[in-house]
Amino acid sequence: MSIIITDTTLRDGSHSVRHQFSKENIASLVSGMDKAGVSIIEVGHGDGLAGSTCNYGFAKESDTDMIQAAVQTAQNARIAVLLLPGIGTVPDLQKAWDAGARVVRIATHVTEADISHEHIEAARKMGFFTIGFLMMAHRAQPEKVLEEARKMESYGAQVVYATDSAGALLPDGVRQRVGLLKEKLSIPVGFHSHNNLGLAIGNSLAAIEAGATYIDGSLGGLGAGAGNTATEMLTAVLERANIPTGIDLFGIMDTATQVLQPIISSLGVTLPKTQDAMMLGYAGVYSSFMLHARRAAERFGVDYRKIIITAGERSAVGGQEDWLYRIAREIAESK
Positions annotated as catalytic residues are: 15
CB 9 within 8 A of CB 29: yes
Q: Which three-class secondary structure state does DSSP give residue 130? A: strand
CB 308 within 8 A of CB 291: no
The DSSP annotation for 144-189 comes to HHHHHHHHHHHHT-SEEEEE-TTS---HHHHHHHHHHHHHH-SS-E
Q: How far apart are CA 130 and CA 64, in angstroms?
A: 19
Q: How far apart are CA 174 and CA 191, in angstroms?
A: 9
Alpha-carbon torsion, ordered 141, 142, 147, 153, to 10 deg: 140
100: left (phi over 0), alpha (psi -120 to 50) or beta: left
Angle at 220 between CA 215 and CA 225, to 5 degrees: 80
Q: How far apart are CA 27 and CA 38, in angstroms?
A: 14
Angle at 151 between CA 147 and CA 155, to 5 degrees: 165
The DSSP annotation for 174-227 comes to HHHHHHHHHHH-SS-EEEE-B-TTS-HHHHHHHHHHTT--EEEEBGGG-SSTT-
Angle at 259 between CA 256 and CA 265, to 5 degrees: 90
